[in-house]
Structure 1
Amino acid sequence: MKKVFLLSAVFSSLAFAQSTEERIRQMEEQIRMLQQEIQRLKEEQKKVEETKQETEVLKEELRKLRLEIAIPQLELKTYSGLGPAASKAMFNPRGVSIGGYGEIHFLHNPDKKPKNTVDAKRLILYFGYAFNEKLKFNSEIEWEHAFVEGGEESGETAVEFAFIDYNFNEKLGLRGGLILIPVGIINEFHEPPTFPSVDRPYLERNIIPTTWRELGFGAYGKLGNLEYRAYITNGLKPNKEAGEKIEKGELLKGFRQNGFKAVSDQMAFSGRLDYNLPYNLKIGASGFFGGVQDDKGKKLGTLNLISPHLWWQYDGWDVRFVGAYGATSGADKISQEISTNPECQLGDTTQCTPFPKKFYGFYTQVAYDVLRLLGIPDQQLYVFGIYENYNTHASVPEGFEKPSGHKVQVFNVGLSYKPHPLIALKADYVRLSPKDAKKQNIYRLALGWMF
């Protein structure tokens, strides 16, 4: 009996031992599985956090992309016949684009009264819309002299250009609407940081009208190294201020129609060729050939203007040459049309405001960024000199008298500092030397920007 009891106790003890070991093993297995589950949850949590961060990054990139599509940043590159800010809409793949430029001028002229003036000369806004990657709208709206009000001292609001553009490929694009006449350099590239002087060169204001635009259509493109633009537009028509502007030395400014109910019985052709050489040297020529008409469309004469040019921007240099030569038929009829003196209308041609049979001129500019010598890449300080020589009345119709001051020399030196490529602080000195008229010494400052 004792043996039976003893054996029973031994077996019970072994069974208990086995049960305890099994429980321990099971618990260890459960702990291991729990640890694995915790590790899995941690990894999932990490993935969730990473996914959340990636989602936030994607959201921010999408926001920036939407903003960039709506209002793209300005890159310093140009599209056929447009400055950097005006080109913004043309590089936008779709949607709305907004850009612009402006300039404020201070002028000290001791030979005039008042001697000092400060002027919010221009504020420009560009509005564009890309219907798709090929079909686009672009426009420029200008406010001059800060406000618009009735009277001669008023500012001005004007549409500088507004056109629809369709680009088939690099070789051919079509453009129609209110377009810039592609003559000279400044008429198309007129944003203040793109030229060093405080104001636009005199030749590209008085011989070639500044911001010259007309209604029409045409083609543009690039064939290898050759760029071209060719437009058909309405012809010229003198407005009521044409004679007064000529007396001030502004030869063609009063003949632009600017898209305002433009009389189009006489048409015009304008075009431009640029050949691109190594080291960013561009040479070419542009021209305008068209009829001059009165308010009823009657032909008064024709005007032919040819302008050769050279433009070299490389390694800190900005060198330019622009020439102009014009010939007019019917200059006597145009002179009588623009003259307000009653004696002129009665046949006394010496009392008429003369329009020239021939006119010509040129200017040359040399500018260099001296900060390149100091190894400062993000800012520019251009030291420049400009010489201009032009004659608004080289030849006039027989019986008419040349106006005083028609032959002009201009000496212009100064500085243009760019703390940012889109902002320019300028200071220059101008020696204006018209023949048979009072010479002027002009000191100018300007703040200009584009975006």
Structure 2
Amino acid sequence: MKPSVINAALAAAIVMAPIAGHAQETDLAKRVEQLAAELDQLKAELAAQRAQAAAAPRSAAPAPSTAPAQAMTNAPVSAAWATPAAALRADTVFSGYGEVNYNHPVRNASASQADVRRAVIGIQHRFDDKTKVVAEFEWEHAVASAGDRGETEIEQLYVERELGGGMRGKAGLFLMPVGLLNQTHEPTAYYGVERNFVETAIIPTTWREAGLGLSGEFGDGFAWDAGLTTGFDLGKWDPASEEGRESPLGSIHQEGQLAKSRDLSLHGALNWRGYPGLLVGGSVFTGKAGHATPGFAANDARLTLLDLHTRFTPGAWDLSALWAYGRITNTGALNATFAGNPTPVPNSFAGWYLQAAYKLWQNADYALSPFARVESFNTARSYASQPGGLDVPATPYEHVATVGANLMVGQGVVLKADYQKFRQDKTRDRVNLGVGFAY
């Protein structure tokens, strides 16, 4: 085969990049790596064909074809490309990411620990040029068993279909289009060893629900998402545990595991990318969380979460900001049954952060980006009033300042280091080190 075949494949990849840009954010984060992998496969198969042709008698060698390469589009392969071995297309693509972190509390060195935070394997298969299935499988904390703290979970499992007119539909278990981190959360995609607190404690990570979703584009740079899915189960709240104080929604999310579905939830998101390097958007999620459970004191409780976010990447700068606010209504009667316990259900919780990073140095193999982030969050901003002077006082906002740097190694590996300073709980001040990868 002639070198023009490789050039045609490269051209096809460049042409298809904007089209892939209409795909979901989770697909975007890995698309470049997927295209590169498919191109490598194409080159290998072409090399094998050349070797086969060289070994065969000259009279039997087929004439070179100049038909456009179609491996990057996953479209049906023309007869000119067909070979007895396989067509030149990659219907199934594997991906993955992982990270190993080290945390060193500066006031209590004996509490230092290293952790295989997570390892994820992703599989995406295209049935045709309009239909695909996406699956991700995650392992956390190295060991998962009855006596260990590790977990094994399905992070995503959904089927998506192109419906025409730039609109897509999906069904299954998928990530909520909330904030900046939830859908794009590989360690190479964010600054700092650990994920920020606002998009962990206020917006649970990694947050997924089972249901139906639609997405599409319109106008000049607008993209939207909407869906009907499972929601949270307030019946899982444990007033004797600190889990709800760490993350109210994280303690009652269902993750597609025998999820109560009497009360379904609605979500919507709108993002604008009409200016180079600028993203501005927001989202809303709302639904009841009682599920008509017999004898439950908060069947009318409604949970609503809002977020506004922006990211701007002019030149070497990477600037971002996010605000999130959550509210759970009609919790007074439920909290009355929790009297004497340390963790009642909050009526509201909120947080925000500002972050700036700068690509200070880069060569062919490395890129160094120092960053700084300030964030403020409160997982118990307020409580519903209680009779008889039994009101629960709100907790103060925690303020965290983080400074550090990411060192990218090649295209898929990152080394991280940072220092975090807490205003309220100074025992949490710490130095963090980490290594991560994504492919």
> One fold, TM greater than 0.5?
yes
Shift of residue 213, structure 1, vs aligned partner: 0.6
Tell me the equivalent position of 2:323: 323
Cα distance, 1:133 vs. partner?
A: 0.7
Match of 1:192 among 176, 187, 190: 187
* 1:418 alignment partner AA: M
Helix, strand or coil: the match of 2:361? helix
2:284 is aligned, of 282, 287, 290, to: 287
Of 67, 89, 98, which aligns to 1:102?
98
For 1:361, the equivalent position in structure 2 comes to 351
CA-to-aligned-CA distance 1:305-335 (integer Å, 9 cap, x gap): 1100001123222111110112221122454
Residue 137 (structure 2) pairs with residue 141 (structure 1):
yes
1:148-168 deviations in Å (ceiling 9; x for gaps): 1113x4211000111000012
Task: Report the 3-state secondary structure (helix = DSSP H, G, I; strand = E; otherwise coil) of the residue aligned with 2:204.
Answer: coil
**Aligned-residue CA RMSD in angstroms?**
3.2
- How far apart, in 1, do the equivalents of 2:399 and 2:118 lie? 26
Q: In the alignment, does 2:308 pair up with 1:308? A: yes
Aligned length: 374
Q: Residues 374-413 of structure 1: matches in 2 within 5 Å?
A: 376=363, 378-399=365-386, 402=392, 406-413=396-403
Q: Distance in 2 between matches of 1:246 and 1:295?
A: 24
CA contact (8 A) 1:226 1:273 kept: yes
Matched, 1:181 2:171: no
Q: Note if contact 1:310-1:321 (Cα within 8 Å) is conserved in structure 2.
A: yes
Counterpart-to-counterpart distance in 2, 1:421 and 1:403:
49
Query: TM-score, normalising length from structure 2?
Result: 0.77
Describe the superposition over 1:92-144 as per-residue Cα deviations: whole angstroms up to 9, x where unpaired.
62521100000000110133473321111100000111000110000111000
Q: Which amino acid aligns with 2:436?
A: G
Q: Does 1:81 align with 2:25?
A: yes
Instruction: Tell me how far 1:262 sits from its aligned partner.
Output: 0.7
2:383–2:394 Cα contact (<8 Å) kept: no
* 1:404 to 1:285, Cα distance in 2 relative to 1, 3 A: closer
Which residue among 243, 260, 276 is the counterpart of 2:257?
260
Structure 2 alignment gaps of length 5 or more = 14-19, 36-71, 75-89
Find the aligned partners of 1:131 and 1:233 in 2 and give their Cα distance. 25
CA distance in 2, matches of 1:120, 1:295: 40
Are the counterparts in 2 of residues 237 and 294 from structure 1 also a CA contact under 8 Å? yes
Give the distance between the partners of 2:23 and 2:224, measured in 1 at CA. 12
Shift of 1:361: 1.3
- 3-state SS, counterpart of residue 206 of structure 1: helix
**Counterparts of residues 32-47 of structure 1 (less than 5 Å):** none
| AA in 2 matched with 1:319 | L
Contact 1:85–1:99 (8 Å) recurs in 2 = no
Aligned pair partner of 1:443 in 404, 417, 431: 431
Report the CA distance between 1:239 and its aligned residue.
Answer: 6.2
Task: Specify the alignment match of 2:200 in structure 1.
Answer: 205
Map Cα deviations across residues 250-276 of structure 1 (whole Å, 9 max, x no partner): 221011110011101111111210011
Q: What SS does structure 2 have at the residue aligned with 1:182?
A: coil
TM-score (norm 1): 0.75
**1:418 partnered with 2:408:** yes
Structure 1 residue runs of 4 or more that deviate by more than 6 Å after TM superposition? 88-92
The structure with more radius of gyration: 1
Deviations along 1:387-424, one digit per CA (max 9) or x if unpaired, are 00112222101135557865210100000000213111
Structure whose residues are more often helix by fraction: 1
Q: Which of 116, 119, 122 pairs up with 1:123? A: 119
Q: Extract unaligned runs of 5+ from structure 1.
A: 1-53, 70-75, 337-343
- Larger mean CA deviation between 237-246 and 206-215 belongs to 237-246
